[in-house]
Amino acid sequence: MNSREVYMDHGATTPVREEVLEAMLPFFKEQYGNPSSVHSKGREVRNAVEEAREKTASALGASPGEIYFTSGGTESNNIVLRGAAKKHEGFGHIITSAIEHHAVLDVCRDLEKEGHRVTFLPVDKYGRLDPSTVEDAITPETFIISIMAANNEIGTLQPLEEIGAIAAKHNIIFHTDAVQVVGQLPVDLKKMQVDFLSLSAHKFNGPKGVGALYKRKGIKIDPLYRGGGQEGKLRPGTENVPGVIGLARALELSVEEIPHKINTLQSLRDKLIEGLLKIDEVVLNGHPEERLPGNVNVSFKYIEGEAILLSLDMEGIAASSGSACSSGSLDPSHVLSAIGLDHQTAHGSVRFSLGRGNSETDIDYVLEKVPAVVDRLRRISPIRRSG
Amino acid sequence: MYNEKVVDHFNNPRNVGDLPDADAVGETGSFKCGDTMKLYIKVKDERIVDVSFQTYGCGAAIASSSMLTEIVKGKTLDEAMQVTNQDVAEQLGGLPPLKLHCSNLAADALHNAIAEYRKKQEVAGKG
């Protein structure tokens, strides 16, 4: 077993940073009041929650009244899609892409079963959506367009501004699942003309189990739950106070660091891609330029992703894969299929997602270990014997 | 996720590669998940005297292949025909439920190899 640990699965989750944990701790201890209580114990916490809302809003260029705290990206997505569908009278039409996260895709599939019509737009071989296909898909019944800001597996960024302009022109609600982008890249709500945006704290060194939904002022949807009326009745239930405080602090810090972070991450990313592509029969998945600054996704031909992950794990390297065997299902990732990868290439995919804390020595270490792992597995594989 | 035995067979697979003088080769694959396995056997007096494998697949598939070769080496063909995928998984000390599917290659490849061997014998006997 190797003593070195290199974490390259930031697309899955990130560690909570020290400053964030510190900001959260008082709300587990002294400041335990319920923000809805009238007494001072409650009021001081209410103030802290509202301050967190202000910080979150200002990090996104929104106003505090437009921020709703949720339990994470999945819940935010469900609230928007189901809430908009409930608000829509009769059966409507939804436009989304074929490569959305399951938290959008599966909600759309359910809504389809319930009587709505859904268009799952295709993407090109890099995972990019052509905005003109969005406009072509619009019907008089279309009530929402939901397109992710960046893909979680292959990192491809979508042309949100162009899609937003189309949605605005046709007066259709525009939602983006920005879980992978918030805290990584600048987000300009006005330019993108989004009505709803989902984000999740644990993707930017915040705590797990807390997220937010941006809802543009004036847009109305029906809530999924009934309860005590918290979060403007859109997401009732006593607030996850330490989580909310942690989210705001983590967002504040990561947005501040974006200008510096982008360059660092991109150069690490490009170095890793360059090094991996030097290995025989390796292909890059996703867009060469229009991709998340920390995302590297490659397919190693003739070998299977889960076996690669296991071998990397032995070397202390944490990564992920879109292969069937690593997903627990029998099918490879819908994203890799949608960009046209054949079954075998999808099966050999590995995602290295870089983040805060990764250094050049990490990249060197990975590039030192990967060729041997690939070589060993290729020697076991019947598909092609190497050397 | 995997127990020590599985990890050991994955890290140090036994009997990997092809057998240049194999008497028969059994192949099997899963159309669903894409895993593929090739099993080579050398037979003498109805007994498997040597065996090797090549597998394209996940950790469970590679470990199962390796374990199978250990189980069948030295067995008669009739005994080897009795080996099931379940035996392989049991010998490995169990696999996670979701990965059982991936271990279903090994015994199938073996049975295919034996079937091929028998067919060859039959043809040779007639000729």
Q: Which residue of chain B is at minimal alpha-carbon distance from A382?
A: B54
Structural domain that includes position A103: 18-253
Helices then strands, each counted (H, E), chain A: 13, 12
The verdict on A133 and A221 lying in the same domain is yes
Question: What's the pLDDT score for residue A387?
Answer: 42
CA distance B60 to chain A (A): 8
A306 within some domain: yes
Per-residue confidence at B103, pLDDT binned at 50, 70, 90? confident
What is the greatest pairwise CA distance in chain B? 52
Give the chain A residue whose CA is nearest to the CA of B61: A307
Could you tell me if residue A91 is inside a domain? yes
Residue found under tokens 């899955």: A12
The CATH number for A296's domain is: 3.90.1150.10
The average confidence (pLDDT) of chain A is: 95
Examine the domain organization and report whether A138 and A33 are in the same domain: yes
Model confidence band, residue A328 (pLDDT cutoffs 50, 70, 90):
low
How many folded domains does chain A comprise? 2
Structure tokens at A24: 């959260």
Please tell me the pTM assigned to this model. 0.94
CB atoms within 10 A of CB A344: 18
ipTM: 0.93
For every residue of B9-20, DSSP letters joined together read: HHHS-SSBS--T
pLDDT tens string A179-213: 999 999 999 999 999 999 999 999 999 999 999 99
Q: Let me know if B58 is a catalytic residue.
A: no
Q: Give the integer Cα–Cα distance in Å for A50 and A41.
A: 15
Which pLDDT score, from 0 to 100, does residue A386 have? 45
State the average pLDDT over residues A277-293: 97
Do A288 and A245 reside in the same domain of the chain? no
pLDDT tens-digit series, residues A61-81: 999 999 999 999 999 999 999
Give yes or no for A387 touching B (CB within 8 A). Answer: no
Q: Are residue A154 and residue A208 in the same domain, yes or no?
A: yes
* CATH assignment of the domain containing A79: 3.40.640.10
Among residues A236, A253, A270, which one ends one of the domains? A253
Residue in A306, A332, A385 closest to B59 by CB: A306
Model confidence pLDDT, tens digit, residues A223-269:
999 999 999 999 999 999 999 999 999 999 999 999 999 999 999 99
Q: Which of A299, A343, A344, A381 to mutate to test the interface with B (most CBs of B within 10 A)?
A: A381
- Pairwise CA distance, residues B27 & B116, whole Å: 10
Residues A140-149, mean pLDDT to the nearest whole number? 98
Q: Is the pLDDT of residue A168 over 60?
A: yes
Out of B63, B71, B102, B109, the active site residue is: B102
Q: What is the pLDDT of residues B25-71, one digit of tens each?
A: 999 987 666 789 999 999 999 999 999 999 999 999 999 999 999 99
Considering chain B, what is the average pLDDT of its residues? 92
Question: Which domains are delineated in chain B?
Answer: 4-119 (3.90.1010.10)
Helices (H), A278-304: none
Contact flag B56-A303 (C-beta cutoff 8 Å): yes
CA distance B68 to chain A (A): 15
Greatest distance between any 2 Cα atoms in chain A = 75
User: Does one domain contain both A226 and A145?
Assistant: yes
